[in-house]
Amino acid sequence: MTTFSIRPARTHDVRAIQGLIEPLVNERILLGKDLVVFYEAVQEFRVAVAPDGSVIGCGALHVMWQDLAEVRTLAVASEWLGTGVGHALLDQIEADARALGLERLFCLTFETAFFARHGFEPVEDEIVDPTVFAQLALSPDEGVAEFLDLSRVKPNTLGNTRMLKHL
């Protein structure tokens, strides 16, 4: 069996990350991002790397509040699906969240069974109290707007399930 490793993303991985998620953007599974956004967030990403050095998976941890972060842009190259790459990336992201002292992880996903296997549960209720909601609403980040379920991003999130895990 071919092995892979997980490591922090580097700036030279950004184009590979964008290429990895492009098919998922075209299928409207993930939201597209400009290249500059990936560079600005490179420190949030972990990548899975094949023995030949190619990036075969990615995922990001985006801190939103003192106790809360979002799992973002979790993707695996199609030829590596079912090999444990996604699970290894999510395990690393959860470990990173714990190391930061976070207590909850959020995701907005179509892959509900995958996240459920990792202890995420669908949520309908508000995840933050009104004071925190007001502060988060000040963020220019589109992902935060999606988390808040703001009306301006509703067309982007149709069909996605909001899921939460307590660490």
- Regions of the chain with pLDDT less than 50: none
Predicted confidence at residue 63, as pLDDT, reads 92
Predicted confidence at residue 32, as pLDDT, reads 82
Q: What is the 3-state secondary structure (H, E, C) of 133-164?
A: HHHHCCCCCHHHHHHHCCHHHHHHHCCCEEEE
Non-local CB neighbours of 33 within 8 Å, separated by 6+ positions = 18, 73
Instruction: Delimit the domains of the chain by residue range.
Output: 5-166
Predicted confidence at residue 156, as pLDDT, reads 52
Q: What is the DSSP string of 54-84?
A: -EEEEEEEEEEETTEEEEEEEEE-GGGTTTT
Per CATH, is 5-166 categorized as 3.40.50.2000? no
Predicted confidence at residue 112, as pLDDT, reads 93
Predicted confidence at residue 150, as pLDDT, reads 60
